[in-house]
């Protein structure tokens, strides 16, 4: 009897969560992460509205999604070019763009914020969205380093607030960290985890602790790599070679930094230095500051530690 009851409860829970499944997603920020998130959400059948500050930026976001989809087509539709064209046009057809974030959330089940890593800018955005979005809409941030709770206080819906931390490049990286704050309801958390699985990601449950799981370990590692080069103990190329061939990482810390974006790295480091001023680990990095001041932001700007410009 107890077994039957458990089964019935489980199947009711599954059915009811399916009925409430997230179908429409607003991705705010069409940069490196936002465009990847929009691509994967649309690929897995969701209707997506992608928001950024200008139509020009959104045009570049859509072009980068198209380029990424072409890589998938090359593999999956090698023998079927027509099928490949249809695949791309179906996915792009599920993505619309908007420059007005308040209008973009009007029919949204879920908001995923992926804008610049600055707490004040994120809070201002969510405070405004809170007034514009329907009651049921769940809000999430893809922040790398900011406490989700510090962002959620800008809204009146902390029970419908959480973190969805994706990894770069989103179409390739299988992990999704699903983050809950103490106020996140079980219903919200379960919906976010279900959404992650619907996006074909492996989800891990995280508390709102600094860096969640991955960045708690990745940040000190990356910082120590920068310090090693600043001290003159090794060249950045040798550090990368060492970590790839000696530790089996797909990218060394300087290739990864270029990939993440050196401006984003600086936002992370500066934010943690301000929040934890007593921790010597988070002191400014002269090397990182120099690259950012020179506009060398990594792969996205064509140059960082390495050069990405086509010769």
Ligand X SMILES: NC(=O)c1ccc[n+]([C@@H]2O[C@H](COP(=O)([O-])OP(=O)(O)OC[C@H]3O[C@@H](n4cnc5c(N)ncnc54)[C@H](O)[C@@H]3O)[C@@H](O)[C@H]2O)c1
Ligand Y SMILES: CCCCCCCCCCCCC[C@H](O)CC(=O)SCCNC(=O)CCNC(=O)[C@H](O)C(C)(C)COP(=O)(O)OP(=O)(O)OC[C@H]1O[C@@H](n2cnc3c(N)ncnc32)[C@H](O)[C@@H]1OP(=O)(O)O
**Binding partner selected for residue 265 from ligand Y, ligand X, none, CB under the kind-specific 5 to 8 Å limit:** ligand Y
Size of the site for ligand X (CB under 6 A): 26
- The count of other CB atoms within 10 Å of the CB of residue 278 is 5
Q: Is 115 in the site for ligand Y (CB under 6 A)?
A: no
In the complex, minimum distance from the CB of residue 124 to ligand X, in angstroms, rounded to a whole number? 8
In angstroms, the CA 199 to CA 215 distance is: 22
Of 18 and 207, nearer to ligand X (C-beta) is 207
- Residues belonging to the binding site are 29-34, 52, 68, 75, 117, 122, 144, 168, 300
Residue 299 CB partners (closer than 8 Å, separation 6+): 258, 259, 261, 308
Structure tokens at 58: 């959104």
Look up 177 and say whether it is catalytic: yes
Look up 144 and say whether it is catalytic: yes
Candidates 144, 155, 285, 301: give the one binding ligand X (CB under 6 A).
144
**Binding partner selected for residue 196 from ligand Y, ligand X, none, CB under the kind-specific 5 to 8 Å limit:** none
Nearest to 274 by CA among 147, 179, 153, 165: 147
Of 53 and 279, nearer to ligand X (C-beta) is 53
Long-range contact pairs involving 275-283 (C-beta distance under 8 Å, separation at least 24)? 281/220, 281/223, 282/223
In the complex, minimum distance from the CB of residue 265 to ligand X, in angstroms, rounded to a whole number? 9
Cβ-contact 189, 162 below 8 angstroms? yes
Tell me which residues in 188-217 interact with ligand X (CB under 6 A): none
Q: Is 219 in the site for ligand Y (CB under 6 A)?
A: yes
Q: Is 199 in the site for ligand Y (CB under 6 A)?
A: no
Nearest to 135 by CA among 188, 194, 177: 188
Contact string 153-172 vs ligand Y (x = CB under 6 A)? --------------xxx-xx
In angstroms, the CA 155 to CA 170 distance is: 27
Contact string 267-286 vs ligand Y (x = CB under 6 A)? -xx---------------x-
| Residue tagged 């709770």 (tokens) | 149
Q: Report phi then psi at 244, rounded to 5.
A: -75, -50
Binding site for ligand X (CB under 6 A): 28-34, 51-53, 57, 101, 114-117, 121, 125, 142-144, 166, 168, 260-261, 264
List active site positions: 144, 165, 177, 215
């Amino acid at each position: 009897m107890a077994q039957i009851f458990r089964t019935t409860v489980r199947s009711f829970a599954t059915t009811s969560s399916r009925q409430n499944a997230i179908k429409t997603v607003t991705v705010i920020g069409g940069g490196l992460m936002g465009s990847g998130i929009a691509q994967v959400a649309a690929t897995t059948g969701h209707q997506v509205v992608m928001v950024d500050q200008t139509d020009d930026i959104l045009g570049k976001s859509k072009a980068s999604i198209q380029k990424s989809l072409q890589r998938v087509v090359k593999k999956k539709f090698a023998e079927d070019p027509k099928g490949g064209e249809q695949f791309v046009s179906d996915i792009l057809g599920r993505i619309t763009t908007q420059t007005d974030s308040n209008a973009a959330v009007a029919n949204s089940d879920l908001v995923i914020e992926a804008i610049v890593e600055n707490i004040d800018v994120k809070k201002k955005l969510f405070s405004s969205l809170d007034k514009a979005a329907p009651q049921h809409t769940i809000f999430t941030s893809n922040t790398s380093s900011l406490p989700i709770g510090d962002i959620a206080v800008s809204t009146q819906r902390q029970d419908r607030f959480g973190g969805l931390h994706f990894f770069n490049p989103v179409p390739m990286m299988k992990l999704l960290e699903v983050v809950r704050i103490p106020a996140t309801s079980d219903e919200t958390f379960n919906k976010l985890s279900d959404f992650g699985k619907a996006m074909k990601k492996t989800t891990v449950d995280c508390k709102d602790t600094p860096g969640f799981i991955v960045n708690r370990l990745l940040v000190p590692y990356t910082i120590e790599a920068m310090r090693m080069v600043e001290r003159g103990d090794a060249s950045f190329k040798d550090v990368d070679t060492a970590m790839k061939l000696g530790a089996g990482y797909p990218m060394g810390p300087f290739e990864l930094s270029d990939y993440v974006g050196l401006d984003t790295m600086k936002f992370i480091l500066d934010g943690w230095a301000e929040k934890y001023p007593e921790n010597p680990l988070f002191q400014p990095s002269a090397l990182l500051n120099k690259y950012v001041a020179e506009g060398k932001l990594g792969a996205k700007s064509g140059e960082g530690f390495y050069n990405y410009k086509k010769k």
